Amino acid sequence: MRTAILASGRGSNLQALIEAINLGRLPIEIVAVGSDQLGTRALKRSEDAGIPTRVFPINRYPDRRAQEEDILNWMRENQVQLLLLAGYMRVLGPDFIAQVNFPILNIHPSLLPAFPGLHAQRQALEYGVKVSGCTVHLVDEGLDSGPIILQEAVPVLAGDTEESLAQRILEVEHRLYPEAVRLFVVGKVERFGRRLRILQQEGLE
């Protein structure tokens, strides 16, 4: 499955996906990595893995629609069949979502629908929850609101800072994202309205 990834920053989830592919655990091919930011670690990691990259800096376009049009063309050129967001820090507009006729997946560092949007780990700490986690979901027009593929809980500990909690969640993200993408692309995810069921995993919805 020809896959594009959009990543804005560090790219550790991108790296986890690349490693899962290299280990034969994830039957997709990353054909292109795009970013809205120049000079990021995500781009460096892609280049090191031999994956072509493209940068779409927002300030080089008259508006968001023009930037998203460019991303759409780039995906068409690359005959993309699946788009994975991996720390892409811009919200994709409804026109973009409507024009993409293949799945878009995202990973978010909270147990959605709690704490959507930016700084999910800070939101969790400030709220005082005892458990947070991460969520892999399909992207729809809303903010982190699409149907959920997999979630995993991570404890919030007494001495946690935003950084320590983010790090503990990130370790789970690196396992959960490749696994959710795998289940999705091998057809183990069945859809009932907005509920997604994982096939052949007793007890897991």
Active-site choice (108, 119, 137, 174): 108
Q: Of the two residues 40 and 67, which places its CB atom closer to ligand GRF in the complex?
A: 40
Instruction: State the Cα–Cα distance between residues 134 and 108, nearest whole angstrom.
Output: 6
Instruction: State the Cα–Cα distance between residues 106 and 81, nearest whole angstrom.
Output: 15
Q: Of the two residues 42 and 196, which places its CB atom closer to ligand GRF in the complex?
A: 42
Shortest reach from residue 149's CB to ligand GRF, in Å? 14
3-class secondary structure, 51: coil
Shortest reach from residue 187's CB to ligand GRF, in Å? 25
Instruction: State the Cα–Cα distance between residues 155 and 37, nearest whole angstrom.
Output: 32
Shortest reach from residue 168's CB to ligand GRF, in Å? 11
Annotation says 119 is catalytic: no
Q: Of the two residues 10 and 69, which places its CB atom closer to ligand GRF in the complex?
A: 10
Give the start-end residues of each E strand in the chain. Answer: 2-6, 29-35, 53-55, 82-85, 104-108, 131-138, 148-155, 189-192, 195-198
Where on the chain is the footprint of ligand GRF (CB under 6 A)?
A: 7, 9-14, 86-87, 107-109, 170, 173
Q: Which residues are catalytic?
A: 108
